[in-house]
Amino acid sequence: MPSAAPAHATPHDVAFQDEVRAVIPRMSRLEMCVQCGTCGGSCPSAADMDHTPRMVFAMVRAGQRQEVLRSNTPWMCVSCYFCAVRCPQEVHIPDVMYGLKAMATREGLVPDSVAPDFSKTFVDNIHRYGRSYEVGLIARHYLRHYLTRLPGMAPMGIGMVAKGRMGFRPPKAIKGRDDLRKILARAEELEAGS
């Protein structure tokens, strides 16, 4: 699906590819892409993406910063790693997707807020408890984004609670919760510094 903004309206940023590579902690080999399309061909959610993974790499190479960071592609990635094991150039595609998500979130360039909100909520729970808190996560998420699904979900929700698979109470925070916070804060500092 083509993006809304016409290409000529966006200044081409040739350093963009380097920027993306730098966000990924390890060598992603993004620059080795030969545009064969194996990733786009393997991806189970390709049909719902604005651009196939391969197209995103072409756009990165072309410096189309805005289009790439606004694309829903990284958010539609299910992390199944089919692309990664089949890529003939050994590009670490899921890593690139994670990197793009991080960049998009940082710059507020996400296509819509559903996925980033979900991630943020999940991450907030980790900061608070050291563990994930499913009920809290689902509740907050549905109230913000899927109000209309709630009635249809009710039987499932009730079923899960009845069978003891969903606890309302938040988890007990891990003992090392404060240490974990310090660790993550330090990691954030180191990341910003690099």
Partner 1 sequence: MSQYVYYPGCSMDASARAYADSLEAISGPLELQLIEIDDWNCCGATEYMGISPTRAYTLVSRNLALAEAQKNGSRTLVAACSACFMNLAKTENYLREDKTLAAKVNAALEAGGLHYTPGSIDVRHLLEIIFDDIGIAAVHDHVTRPLAGLRVAPYLGCLVTRPDLDRRWRSREHPQAFDRLLRTLGAQVVDFPPRTDCCGGHMTQISPATGFELIRRLVDAADKAGADMLVTTCPMCQMNVDAYQAEMNHYFKTSYHMPILFFTQLIGLAFGIPAQKLGIGTEIVSSRAALAKIGIEIPVVEAQQPVGAGAAGPPRRPRAKQTGLPMPAMPGESGEAPR
Partner 2 sequence: MSSAQEKIGVYVCHCGSNIAATVDVEAVSEWAGQELADKGVVVARDSKFMCASSGQELIEKDIEELGLTRVVVAACSPHMHEKTFRGACARAGLNPYLCELVSIREQVSWVHSDRAAATAKAKAVIAGGVLRVGEQVPLEPLRVPINPATLVVGGGIAGITTALEIADAGFAVHLVERQPSIGGHMAQFDKTFPTLDCAACILTPRMVDAGMHKNITLHTWSEVTDVKGYVGNFTVTIKERARYINAELCTGCGICQEKCPIRVQDNAFEAGLGFRKVAYMPFPQAVPKYPVIDGPNCTYFEKGTCKACEKFCPTNAIDFTQVDRDVVVEVGNIVLATGFELFDPRRIEQYGYGRLPNVFTSLEFERMSNAAGPTNGRIVLRDGVTEPKTVGVIHCVGSRDRNFNSYCSAICCMQSLKFAHLIRDHTDATVYNFYIDIRAPGKAYDEFYQRVLEEGTVFVRGRVAEVTDSLRLPAEADAEGRLIIQVEDTLVGTQRRIPVDMVILSAGLEPPADAKETARLFGISCSSDGWVIERHPKLDPVATMTDGVFAAGCALWPRDIPASVSNGAAAAARILGRIQQKEMALEPVRATVDEARCSGCRICNDLCPYNAIVYHADRAVTEVNPALCQGCGTCVAACPAGAISGTGFSDAQILSQIEGLLMVSASGQLREVVPA
Q: How far is the CB of 22 from partner 2 (least distance, A)?
A: 23
Stretch that binds partner 1, among 5-13, 30-38, 59-67, 153-161 (CB under 8 A): 153-161
Distance set, CA 81 to CA 7, 39, 66 (Å): 30, 9, 26
C-alpha torsion angle, residues 100, 104, 109, 111 (rounded to 10): 60
Q: Contact at 8 Å (CB) between 24 and 95?
A: yes
Residue 113 near partner 1 by CB under 8 A = no
Residue 128 near partner 1 by CB under 8 A = no
Q: How far is the CB of 63 from partner 2 (least distance, A)?
A: 18
Residue 38 near partner 2 by CB under 8 A = yes
Retrieve residue 53's tokens.
């993974």
**Those residues with Cβ within 8 angstroms of residue 173's Cβ, 6 or more apart along the chain or in another chain:** 128, 129, 130, 131
Binding positions for partner 1, 69-98, rule CB under 8 A: 74-76, 78-82, 84-85, 94-95, 98
78 burial type by CB count under 10 A (0-12 exposed, 13-18 middle, 19+ buried): exposed
Phi–psi pair at 169, nearest 5 degrees:
-75, 140
Residues that bind partner 1 (CB under 8 A): 23-27, 44-45, 48, 74-76, 78-82, 84-85, 94-95, 98-99, 101-102, 105, 114-116, 118-120, 122-123, 125-126, 130-132, 134, 138, 141, 146, 149, 152-153, 155-156, 159-160, 163-167, 171, 174-176, 179-180, 182-188, 190-191, 194
